[in-house]
Amino acid sequence: MFRPLAELTLNHVNIQEGDCVLDMACGTGIVASLVAEKVGPFGSVTGADLNAGMIEAARLYTPANTANIEWHQNDVTSLPFEDASFDMAFYQQGLQFFSDKPAALSEQRRVLAPGGTLILTVWSAISPLFAAVADSIGRFIGPKASTSVLSPFAFRDGEVIKALLMEAGFPKVEIERLLVERRIGLATESIPKEIAGSPVRELVAKLDEPTEKALYSEIEEALRDFVEDEAHLVRAIRQ
């Protein structure tokens, strides 16, 4: 799900060979692995995430020959890195999940070198795919489950993001809009996969088989072949 966004983001960002880069809330590590190709053998990439399962998957998916990547299991508010360790840091779809955003950004500022850049992406509109999923989940499971499907899209106000960054010591903040086109592919395969990565996976797993199939086919009917997702690409320079 996050590869198309990662590829598009990296097309808009200037990474130099030899840079030291942090991929915070790295999940399964898609940004880190793409950045590793750009920084080359004299650069380094560090991926960090709170969730041990994500770090395990990141290690598994990263090719064994990618020697310049390190993985760490850590909370964003307490990082085991020296001050000013990184030239650049990425939060790809991470900020909206951090419960203490000011503490996360202040810790991020500490580990970035002066003049270093934090690049973050956050959904700026509700994905048409997840709007359809939330709608059907609301009918098949209930309103609370429907709201939790949309939780990744709940932090959409660019001005709020900008204010948080400025308060945390990033005086220069620029925001641009990215349009990410994603092919849904064979709906019978892609919709269960999207749900498996969403906050309602356990509730859906409890449905009986005919209900689960009916849920998937209802979502499938609501969708076109492609969906266009919208994200803020935020560049913040550390003072």
Point out which residues bind ligand SAM (CB under 6 A).
2, 25-28, 30-31, 49-51, 54, 75-76, 92-94, 97-98
CB of 164: closest distance to ligand SAM in angstroms? Answer: 15
Residues 6+ away with beta carbon under 8 Å from 113: 84, 85, 86, 87, 238
CB of 68 to ligand SAM, least distance (A): 19
| Shortest separation between residue 214's beta carbon and ligand SAM, angstroms | 28
Instruction: Give the shortest CB-58-to-ligand SAM separation in angstroms.
Output: 9
| Beta carbon nearer to ligand SAM, 1 or 20 | 1
Question: Which C-beta is closer to ligand SAM: that of 19 or that of 23?
Answer: 23
Closer to ligand SAM by CB, 51 or 239: give it.
51
- Taking CB atoms, the residue at the shortest distance from ligand SAM is 27
Identify which of residues 2 and 81 has a Cβ nearer to ligand SAM in the complex: 2
User: 20 or 79, CB closer to ligand SAM?
Assistant: 79
Q: How far is the CB of 96 from ligand SAM (least distance, A)?
A: 8
Pairing of strands 69-73, 44-49: parallel
